[in-house]
Every structure is written in C-alpha cells, then in structure tokens.
C-alpha cells in the first residue's frame, strides 16, 4: 500500500484547544499525543467496523479498537439497535431496571465459575473493588500484583507501584508487592517474607506469554494454602481468549475476576464476579460480618450499556467470534512476519502475543527496545492508511483488511530498514513517542523540555 498525502490541520487545531482545557489533551493517557507520532490523526470523527475516519477526512484500517474495548467492530449494528431501543425507555432510574437482572443472567451463563456479578463502568473500579473485598474477607492489608502486567487500576493501590506515583502516600505504596508471571517461586517468596499478611494475588491470566504448564492451577493451590484470594483481571482476555474468559480456557476458577472492555463492545460496562460467600459481603443480607462498601455507582447500571452488553454477549454465544479473532490474528501475524523476514528485520521487529491481541516490539541497531523506531513504524503505517498502535483484530477485520495491512507494513518496514542504516531521526518527523508511566515529561506539546534536559546535565 503506497503512502498517500495526508493533512492533519483539523486535528492540529483541536489539539491546541484540547490541551488548553484538558490535562494531557485526552481523557485516557494511552490516547494522548505523546503516545503517537507528530504526523498522526489527533481526533477520530467516526468509525464503522474496523475502519475509522479522522476529523480531516483521512481513513484508516484500525487495530487499537478502542484500547481493546471493541471486539465486534465500531458501530456494530446488532449492538447499536439494542442500544437505540433501550434509550427510548430511559437510561437511569431511582430503582433498579429489569434489564440489570437480564444482563447478570447472561453474564453468569457465560462465566460458569462465577456465582454473582456486580456491574460498574470501568476496569479500575472493578479491580479496586476486588482488592477491597479481598482485604475485608481475609483481614489482611497487603496485595501482590504481577509486575509483568502493565496496568490494573487508576487507584492508589496500583499507581503507587509505578513511576507515575506522585501524590500517593508512601504508606499506601508499601501495601502493594510485586511478583513475576510464570514464576511460582516469586510468589512463594512473598508469602515467606510476609507471612499471614497478603490478602490477594492479582494478575492477568495471560498477556504476552501464555501461562506455562499448570502455572495458574499451581498458583491457585499456593494462594489457597496461604489463606489468600486469587483475583484474575480479565479486562483483555475476557471475550478474546474465550467468551467465558481465559479462566474457562485454562480450566481455573478464581475467587474473584474482573471483566470489561469488550463486554459492551465499546459501551462503558465492567464487571466484578466471584464466589457467592465473598460477593455477599457487599450485599445487604449477610449479618455475621462487617459490611463491605463494594460498588455503588450512579451510572454503573445505565440501561443502554447493559443492552449493549446483552447484545454483545448474544453475538459471542451464537457466532464463532473467538475462532474468527484467532484466525484473522494468525493470518495477520503470518503476513507481517513474512514481510519482516523479506526485509531482513527479524532481529529488529517482532510480532508478539495472542492472535486475538497482538502487539509489536521495535528494536534499534543495538537490538535495544526503541521508542524512536516504534514511532517511526507507526508514522509510516499511518502514512499508508493503517492506524496500528497494536495489532488487535476485531470481528469485522476481513481478509482484504489484513492484506492491505500487510502491504502497509511492507512499505513501512522498508523505511525502517533504511533508518537502521542511516539513523532513525533522518526519517522520523518530530519527537519519538513516550511511555505512559514516566516520572517526568520529556516533551511538551511535541517540543523537547530543554530545561529539564539541562538540569540533568
């Protein structure tokens, strides 16, 4: 796919206004300008299936899919129709709506290991509620989270473990520990170092690497032996690895699990699910233990979001969504891998992850991870009509979309190869993108922070 002339004048005007009114210029750090090349669409106007159009009229095949929240495709008709019908009836009432029971029923049918479910709006609320519930149930304060998994919550218990921990008391930071994925001994060491103090272990069931052998089952046994709880964060794996979550695929039943993202195909709905005896601690019927303020959100049960989730779950139940995502992801990886090989870039560009949730690694001349080369690859695929901060497929990515994407990577990797020989900054327009969790900003609206660099010598 040849590069074509693009203009981002509309996006640039909106960027200036956005940064004047919105800290960071966006409401999600992963969508911020610092995560993308200077030559990139700043604002999306519309989307249909796997295609999006920016405010300047440029169109793209998209692979971010709303940070993995859109599994079926943008503006997917059965979901939109269900939402429209529900909105005619109102979206938020003084008492629960009947659809809340229907949505819970559908969810528990899909996730057989859960006895009860409570819905909310985002993944952070769900995981933080699980953490609070675990602490209440065990009477312990410490939480151990997988240090290999990048994000669990916007709340202090997690953000305090990152480099972006300004404003979080040290006492709170000390309450969260880290362990390594697929490393049972690192978890065992934590229990040895903090006997009787760890309330829960929280991790994603899979991310890049798959769990080895019987890792998850062995982890669950260890956690149970130590009197702690196992929490699975299925925000990404749920509705991608299996319609019942990766826990169903791997044959494990966690004490608590958290779902979101693709649950509503982009509409805001997440879920905390788990064992009845634990979930009832946040109810109004148990009488022998202190009450847990579990989840109570004004908008958590908006009826149109639940209608979206019901329609989405129906598609996953009745159609081969999971198999399709895996098939298209494998086809995409195979095609891009062939292009990488043809350009002799096997040591510099790698396609990694589950077929339904692929990403890519970019390395420089010294085979070190490089934000500059990542930004260059993203810049060049954007120039060829592909918006791919990741390579996450949807139910609406068709064979032609995959073929056009492979063609775009072919052209982009040709530029990548030249940049390895002649220097990346001769090809990258503007500054490289940055990692989200950084203690200081290196760039301000695309320009280097010269004062900050000077202060560090």
Round to whole Å and give the CA distance between 42 and 23.
15
Residue 29 predicted with pLDDT over 90:
no
In the structure, what pLDDT confidence band is assigned to residue 2 with cuts at 50, 70 and 90? confident
- What gap in Å lies between CA 352 and CA 157, rounded to an integer? 29
Distance CA 403, CA 116 (A): 43
Instruction: State the pLDDT confidence band at 455, using cuts at 50, 70 and 90.
Output: very low
pLDDT in tens, 73-99: 999 999 999 999 999 999 999 999 999
Q: Say which CATH class 77-318 falls into.
A: alpha beta
Per-residue pLDDT band at 32 (split at 50, 70, 90):
confident
Distance, in Å, from the CA atom of 307 to the CA atom of 292, rounded to the nearest integer, reads: 28
Residue 180 and residue 257: Cα distance in Å, rounded? 19
239 in the Ramachandran plot: left (φ > 0), alpha (ψ -120 to 50) or beta?
left
CA–CA gap between residue 253 and residue 275 (Å, rounded): 9
Q: Is the pLDDT of residue 48 over 80?
A: yes
Percent share of the chain, pLDDT over 90: 88
Domain 9-68+321-455, CATH among 3.90.1150.10, 3.30.70.20, 3.90.1300.10, 3.30.70.360: 3.90.1150.10
Ranges of each domain in the chain:
9-68+321-455, 77-318
What is the distance between the alpha carbons of residues 431 and 445, in angstroms, rounded to a whole number? Answer: 10
Burial class (CB in 10 A: 0-12, 13-18, 19+), 356: buried
Question: Burial of 403 by CB count in 10 Å (0-12 exposed, 13-18 middle, 19+ buried)?
Answer: middle
For the cut 60, the answer to whether the pLDDT of residue 453 exceeds it is no
> How far is the first Cα of the chain from the last one, in angstroms, to the nearest whole number?
44
Q: What is the pLDDT of residue 443?
A: 55
| Res 349 pLDDT > 90 | yes
The C-alpha atoms of residue 114 and residue 108 are separated, in whole angstroms, by 6
Mean pLDDT of 50-57: 97
Tokens 């939109």 found at: 80
CA distance 138 to 133: 9
- Model pLDDT, residue 6: 86
């Amino acid at each position: 796919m040849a590069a074509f002339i693009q203009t981002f004048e509309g996006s640039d005007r909106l960027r200036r206004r956005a940064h004047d009114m919105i800290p960071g210029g966006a409401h999600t750090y992963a969508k911020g300008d610092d995560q993308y090349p200077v030559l990139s669409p700043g604002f999306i106007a519309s989307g249909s299936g796997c295609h999006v159009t920016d405010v300047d009229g440029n169109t793209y095949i998209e692979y971010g899919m709303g940070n993995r929240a859109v599994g079926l495709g943008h503006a997917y008709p059965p979901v939109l129709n269900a939402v429209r019908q529900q909105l005619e009836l109102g979206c938020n009432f003084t008492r629960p709506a009947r659809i809340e029971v229907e949505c819970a029923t559908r969810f528990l049918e899909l996730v057989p290991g859960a006895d009860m479910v409570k819905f909310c709006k985002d993944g952070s609320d769900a995981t933080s509620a699980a953490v609070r519930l675990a602490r209440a149930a065990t009477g312990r304060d410490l939480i151990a989270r997988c240090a290999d998994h990048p994000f669990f919550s916007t709340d202090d218990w997690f953000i305090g473990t990152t480099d972006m921990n300004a404003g979080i008391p040290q006492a709170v930071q000390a309450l969260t520990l880290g362990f390594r994925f697929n490393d049972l001994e690192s978890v065992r060491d934590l229990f040895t170092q903090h006997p009787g103090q760890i309330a829960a272990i929280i991790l994603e069931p899979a991310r890049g690497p798959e769990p080895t052998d019987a890792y998850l089952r062995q982890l669950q046994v260890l956690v149970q032996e130590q009197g702690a709880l196992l929490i699975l964060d299925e925000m990404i794996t749920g509705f991608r690895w299996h319609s019942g979550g990766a826990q169903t695929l791997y044959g494990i039943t966690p004490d608590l699990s958290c779902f979101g993202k693709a649950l509503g195909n982009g509409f805001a709905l997440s879920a905390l699910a788990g064992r009845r005896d634990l979930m009832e601690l946040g109810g109004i019927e148990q009488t022998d233990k202190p009450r847990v303020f579990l989840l109570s959100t004004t908008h958590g049960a908006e009826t149109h979001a639940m209608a979206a989730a019901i329609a989405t779950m129906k598609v996953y139940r009745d159609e081969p969504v999971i198999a399709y995502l895996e098939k298209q992801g494998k086809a995409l990886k195979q095609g891009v891998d062939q292009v990488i090989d043809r350009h002799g870039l096997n040591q510099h560009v790698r396609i990694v992850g589950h077929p339904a949730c692929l990403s890519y690694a970019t390395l420089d001349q010294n085979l070190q991870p490089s934000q500059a080369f990542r930004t260059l690859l993203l810049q060049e695929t954007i120039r060829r009509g592909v918006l791919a901060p990741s390579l996450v497929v949807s139910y609406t990515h068709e064979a032609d979309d995959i073929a056009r994407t492979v063609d775009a990577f072919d052209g982009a990797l040709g530029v990548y190869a030249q940049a390895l020989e002649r220097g990346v900054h001769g090809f990258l327009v503007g500054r490289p993108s940055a990692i989200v969790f950084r203690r200081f900003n290196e760039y301000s609206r695309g320009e280097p922070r010269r004062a900050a660099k000077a202060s560090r010598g």
